[in-house]
């Protein structure tokens, strides 16, 4: 079996509903639109946890985040957990990462042979949140203080055109190094197939972009939220807690501010779209496109003003839903798949592509391969998600089977929706006698999957331990876990002492595909 190259591209905080492939008529994404047309669109893809680090650890391991102790954005990703990079490396692939994976802990590779960039966020325990008891009642604004690693309303208020931002700096480096690596691997690689993860930090807030992309839009063209702002006294209890968690009580997000922020969000997505086009162009130029599977997704979504909420950390669909495109130039499957799927399905999918089966997987895993769904859709498929930190009184979990979705917690009233009839999740059916049988069935599935009381204790114990470790590790000599790319390879491509420069030049030629 000839193994294809695989390019796995990730955005950060990109909600599916922002893309044309999912019905958006405002956001301009020609390259992503073409990728969707060329391949398969998963219409109902979900993250397993609506927060960066836990979602990424679940994605890479094929496990629910709570199964591996990934409770929040400062939870260590254990080096003993196999990832899709380990499996593809074992299957004979060269594995490399350009961009953000939000790894926390001393292992900053997790199966990738090379990291082409550093991380954008800390790799230590400094973002460990307060425990449930320390937070108190999230619905009381006096209980909220600024903490590291938490978005806040300022990044909505700041929405504007800028000459440059930290995120743009980072993503420029991510794209530059990834594209250079594609050219380098085609010329200097050791013959193994390529598995590269390219992970951008946009369109994560703040909602700013350069004039090139900002000016693609006008404020008056920005679409209204699908679900209008809900008054604070009519919000569900958890949403009220998030309202204060993100400081939305400290700034009036007017309609004008909403449109400006959503405009910035779309501008950042258009930036990512351009980078996807550049990556595909590099694959075409090297002749690799015909042998390369492309997968595009995001770690989680963003409320972007839906219901009057922003960012993530809730289990409504704008925060849970992610785009998921799959393009294999050697085969043609279904153009659109309705089955609910999860990012935990990516690991078994990649293992099956690389090895032809799931036999190589050595641990338990919650996902299942997406490949069969591209031939036989399964609209009644079941997926799970969870949210355990920040702005919540206790763990919250979700199960979706087909069109029905249940959100459950020991600290909040259950939320039960028919997503087909009510895509905006406005009508809670938890008290509906007619819906009671399916409600009970889904609740049983949740109880089989999680012991919520035990999970709460594990989260609190982990957070207390990491708070202590972070405090102790700041005493005396401080050792960072951040990693930086090894630049040696870049320099060995160029002419050095003793080289006959025409030979070096000739080695660097990459002939056009038609001249091979």
User: For 277-294, how does the pLDDT look when each residue is reduced to its tens digit (9 = 90+)?
Assistant: 999 999 999 999 999 999
CA-CA distance, 156 to 151, in Å (whole number)? Answer: 9
DSSP string computed for 137-166: -TTSGGG----TT---THHHHT-EE-S--H
The chain-wide mean pLDDT, for the chain, equals: 94
Question: What average pLDDT does range 257-278 have in this prediction?
Answer: 98
How many C-beta neighbours within 10 Å does residue 496 have?
10
- Which residues is 208 bridged to in the sheet? 160
Query: Which residues, 6 or more positions from 177, have their beta carbon under 8 angstroms from its beta carbon?
Result: 98, 116, 117, 485
| Catalytic member of 31, 102, 204, 300 | 102
> Please, are residues 185 and 94 in contact by the beta-carbon 8 Å criterion?
yes
Nearest to 334 by CA among 304, 386, 370: 370
Query: Each residue of 155-213: pLDDT tens digit?
Result: 899 999 999 999 999 999 999 999 999 999 999 999 999 999 999 999 999 999 999 99
> Are the C-beta atoms of 52 and 102 separated by less than 8 Å?
yes
User: From CA 130, how far away is CA 152, in angstroms rounded?
Assistant: 17
Q: Which domain holds residue 140?
A: 5-382+462-515
**155 lies in some domain:** yes
Q: Residue 437 domain-assigned? A: no
| Beta carbons within 8 Å of 233's beta carbon, 6+ residues apart | none
Q: b/e string for 421-456 if b means 16 or more Cβ within 10 A?
A: eeebbeeebbeeeebeebbeebbebbeebbebeebb
Q: Under a CB-based contact definition with an 8 Å cutoff, are residues 39 and 325 in contact?
A: yes
At 144 the pLDDT is 72
User: Would you say residue 390 lies in a domain?
Assistant: no
Helix (H) or strand (E) holding 96: strand 94-99
Cite the DSSP H helix spans in 15-120: 30-38, 52-61, 84-90
Instruction: Give 358 or 496, the one with higher predicted confidence.
Output: 358
Q: For 390-427, give the DSSP string.
A: SS-SS-EEEEEETTEEEEEESSS--EEEETTT-TT--S
Q: Considering 17, 27, 31, 52, which one is annotated as catalytic? A: 52
Calculate what percentage of the chain has a pLDDT beyond 70: 97
Count structural domains, the chain.
Answer: 1
- pLDDT one-digit tens code per residue, 44-78: 999 999 999 999 999 999 999 999 999 999 999 99
Question: pLDDT-based confidence at 516, cuts 50/70/90?
Answer: very low
Q: Is residue 416 part of a domain?
A: no
pLDDT above 90: residue 146: no
Annotate 178-204 with three-state secondary structure.
HHHHHHHHHHHCCCCCEEEEEECCCCC
Structure tokens at 24: 């958006």
DSSP 41: E
| 497's tokens | 């002492």
pLDDT value of residue 501: 62
Residue among 2, 7, 16, 4 at smallest CA distance from 306: 16
According to DSSP H, which parts of 287-345 are helical? Answer: 317-320
Contact 81/68 with Cβ under 8 angstroms? Answer: yes
* Token output for 304: 């972007």
pLDDT band of 493, cuts 50, 70, 90: low
- The pLDDT confidence band at residue 515, using thresholds 50, 70 and 90, is very low
Cα distance between residue 241 and residue 144, in whole Å: 10
Could you give the strand order of the β-sheet that contains 94-99, starting from the edge strand earlier in sequence?
Answer: 114-115, 94-99, 194-199, 5-11, 292-298, 324-327, 40-46, 336-342
- Please, which pLDDT band fits residue 37 given cuts at 50, 70 and 90? very high
Q: Report residue 390's pLDDT band, with 50, 70 and 90 as the boundaries.
A: confident
Q: Is 102 a catalytic residue?
A: yes
Decide if 339 is inside a domain: yes
Q: What's the CATH number where 340 sits?
A: 3.40.720.10
User: Alpha-carbon distance 231 to 307, whole Å?
Assistant: 9
Is residue 106 within 8 Å of 112, Cβ to Cβ? no
Q: What is the pLDDT of residues 91-136, one digit of tens each?
A: 999 999 999 999 999 999 999 999 999 999 999 999 999 999 888 8
Helix (H), strand (E) at residue 335: none
CA 38, distance to chain mean position in Å, is 22
Give me the pLDDT at residue 191, please: 94
Quick check: is 137 in a domain?
yes
User: Residue 184 domain-assigned?
Assistant: yes
365: enclosing H helix or E strand: none
**With 70 as the cut, is the pLDDT of residue 490 above it?**
no
96 catalytic residue (yes or no): no
Q: What is the pLDDT of residue 150?
A: 84
Tell me the Ramachandran region of residue 247: left when phi exceeds 0, alpha when psi lies from -120 to 50, beta otherwise. Answer: left
Q: Quick one: pLDDT band at residue 83, thresholds 50, 70, 90? A: very high
The predicted pLDDT at position 42 comes to 98
Over residues 329-358, mean pLDDT: 95
Burial class (CB in 10 A: 0-12, 13-18, 19+), 78: middle
Is 127 among the domain residues?
yes
């Amino acid at each position: 079996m000839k193994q294809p190259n695989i390019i796995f591209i990730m955005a950060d905080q990109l909600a599916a509903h922002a893309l044309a492939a999912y019905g958006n008529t405002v956001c301009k994404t020609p390259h992503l639109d073409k990728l969707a047309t060329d391949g398969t669109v998963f219409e109902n893809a979900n993250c397993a946890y609506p927060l960066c680090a836990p979602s990424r650890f679940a994605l890479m391991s094929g496990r629910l985040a709570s199964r591996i102790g990934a409770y929040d954005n400062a939870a260590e990703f254990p080096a003993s957990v196999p990832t899709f990079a380990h499996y593809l490396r074992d299957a004979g692939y060269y594995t490399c990462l350009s961009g953000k994976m939000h790894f926390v802990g001393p292992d900053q590779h997790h199966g990738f042979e090379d990291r082409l960039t550093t991380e954008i966020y800390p790799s230590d325990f400094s973002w460990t949140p307060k425990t449930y008891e320390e937070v108190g009642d999230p619905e009381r604004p006096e209980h909220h203080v600024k903490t590291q690693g938490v978005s806040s309303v300022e990044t909505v208020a700041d929405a504007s055109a800028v000459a440059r931002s930290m995120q743009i700096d980072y993503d420029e480096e991510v794209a530059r190094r990834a594209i250079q690596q594609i050219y380098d691997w085609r010329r200097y690689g050791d013959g193994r197939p390529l598995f590269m993860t390219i992970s951008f930090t946009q369109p994560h807030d703040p909602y700013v972009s350069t004039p090139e992309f900002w000016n693609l839009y006008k404020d008056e063209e920005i679409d209204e939220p699908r679900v209008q702002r809900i008054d604070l006294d009519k919000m569900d209890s958890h949403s009220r807690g998030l309202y204060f968690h993100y400081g939305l009580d400290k700034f009036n997000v007017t309609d004008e501010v909403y449109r400006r922020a959503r405009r910035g969000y779309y501008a950042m997505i258009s930036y990512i779209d351009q980078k996807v086009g550049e990556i595909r162009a590099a694959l075409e130029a090297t002749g690799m496109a015909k042998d390369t599977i492309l997968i595009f997704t995001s770690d989680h979504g963003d409320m972007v003003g839906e219901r009057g909420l922003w960012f993530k950390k809730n289990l409504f669909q704008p925060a849970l839903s992610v785009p998921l495109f799959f393009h294999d130039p050697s085969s043609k499957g279904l153009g659109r798949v309705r089955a609910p799927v999860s990012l935990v399905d990516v690991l078994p999918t990649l293992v099956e592509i690389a090895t032809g089966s799931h036999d190589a997987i050595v641990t338990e895993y919650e996902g299942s391969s997406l490949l069969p769904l591209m031939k036989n859709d399964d609209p009644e498929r079941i997926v799970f998600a969870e949210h355990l930190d920040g702005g919540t009184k206790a763990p919250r979990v979700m199960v979706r089977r087909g069109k029905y979705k249940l959100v459950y917690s020991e600290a909040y009233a259950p939320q039960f929706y028919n997503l087909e009839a009510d895509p905006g999740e406005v009508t809670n059916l938890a008290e509906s006698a007619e819906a009671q049988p399916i409600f009970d069935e889904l609740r049983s599935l949740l109880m089989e999957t999680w012991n919520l009381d035990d999970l709460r204790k594990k989260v609190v114990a982990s957070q207390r331990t990491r708070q202590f470790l972070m405090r102790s590790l700041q005493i005396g000599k401080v050792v960072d876990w951040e990693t930086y790319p090894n630049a040696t390879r870049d320099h060995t491509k160029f002419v050095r002492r003793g080289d006959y420069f025409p030979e070096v030049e000739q080695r660097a030629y990459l002939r056009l595909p038609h001249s091979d």
